[in-house]
Amino acid sequence: MVTAKRPFGKPATTYAQQVAKLQQRGMVIGDPVTAVFYLQHLNYYRLGAYWLPFEADHTTHAFKAGTSFDDVLNLYVFDRELRLLVLDAIERVEVSVRSQWAFQIAHFHGTHGHLDPALAFRNDLWQKNLAKLTTEVDRSDEAFINHLKGTYVEALPPVWAVCEVMSLGLLSRWYNSLKPMPTRRAISAVYGVDEKVLESWLRHLSLVRNTCAHHSRLWNREFTITPVLPRSKPAGLTAQCVAGSRKLYNTLVILLHWMDVIAPKHRWRGRVKALIATHAIPVAAMDFPVGWDQFNIWKEQP
């Protein structure tokens, strides 16, 4: 049965009224002036996603005893810093995979292999990807793109140049539609995974990247697109993951594997662990398993 819609009747409130409402619901606010400051710059509705877990009753929005504004702000700051850490890793992954995509296509199929529709599983998808890539090239203000466009007759610059203006989402779609198995496997082999696993990971990371870039919540988020867990390679990685999870933990494990491949001396592992410890965050909400910090993937590499 579809419920009939009704006009939205809630009035706008002042910051002082917002503080009073939170206090009425049982939130401890030791410094109302500071609370007003953060409500002014972060938005009541945005912070609401972070105090939701502190509610004892979602119908009345009453908070659990002892819940403070500082608790909510701590969770918010943790999530913000977590997004920046995840974006840092994804940036390095994206640059690496773009490089491999360009290198393998150029060596298997020529400098302008991306202009060959025969390399795609479906011509319609290739046309869409090419149109999007052309748009990204045309709007680029990179000097090297303008030089190549103005010097050579091909419809687009060579593959190692156009990869530099591709988004992660477009890179994922190009790899997804790439037909020649030797090329797909040459790219995925660099990361020690099967080509289908790499395809899934890129699609998932594109979603995670967009979530971070739009400043949306990572902590306790359930992703609509989840990564495939590898069956055999890399050996032992699936045992470090949580089967069936839609939350962030598996993403972090995958990023750790990727970082170990492309930046062996990275400090990202320690930075994630330090962030969790600093904010004393309940990681079960991100599907961290019990004893996760004793898993091999989380131990500092020699």
- 286 and 150 belong to one structural domain: yes
> Distance (Å, rounded) from C-alpha 227 to C-alpha 201?
5
Are residue 42 and residue 148 in the same domain, yes or no?
A: no
Same domain, 92 and 236: yes
Number of structural domains in the chain:
2
Determine if the pTM surpasses 0.75. yes
Q: Tell me the pLDDT tens digit for each residue of 94-148.
A: 999 999 999 999 999 999 999 999 999 999 999 999 999 999 999 999 898 888 8
Whether residues 151 and 114 fall in one domain: yes
User: CB of 79 within 8 A of CB of 217?
Assistant: yes
pLDDT digits (tens, 9 = 90+) for 207-257: 999 999 999 999 999 999 999 999 888 999 999 999 999 999 999 999 999
Question: Which range of residues forms the domain containing residue 44?
Answer: 15-67
Residue 88, phi-psi category: left (phi > 0), alpha (psi -120 to 50), beta (remainder): alpha
Do 31 and 146 belong to one domain?
Answer: no
The answer to whether residues 118 and 264 belong to one domain is yes
Q: Clarify whether residues 27 and 126 are in a common domain.
A: no
Task: Answer yes or no: is 4 within a domain.
Answer: no
119 with 37, same domain? no
In a domain, 115, yes or no: yes
140 and 225: one domain?
Answer: yes
Do 149 and 33 reside in the same domain of the chain? no
The DSSP secondary structure of 127-168, one letter per residue, reads HHHHHHHHHHHHH---HHHHHHHHH--SSS--HHHHGGG--H
Task: Name, in order, each residue with C-beta under 8 angstroms of 32's C-beta and a sequence gap of 6 or more.
Answer: 16, 19
The SS3 call for residue 257 is helix
**Cα 212 from Cα 80, distance rounded (Å):** 9
In a domain, 198, yes or no: yes
> Cα–Cα distance between 19 and 207 in angstroms, integer?
34
Domain assignment present for residue 293? The answer is yes
220 in a structural domain:
yes
Residue 228 confidence (pLDDT) = 96
Q: Distance from first CA to last CA of the chain, Å, rounded? A: 60
Q: Quick one: 61 and 97 in the same domain?
A: no
Q: Within a domain: residue 3?
A: no
The answer to whether residues 92 and 189 belong to one domain is yes
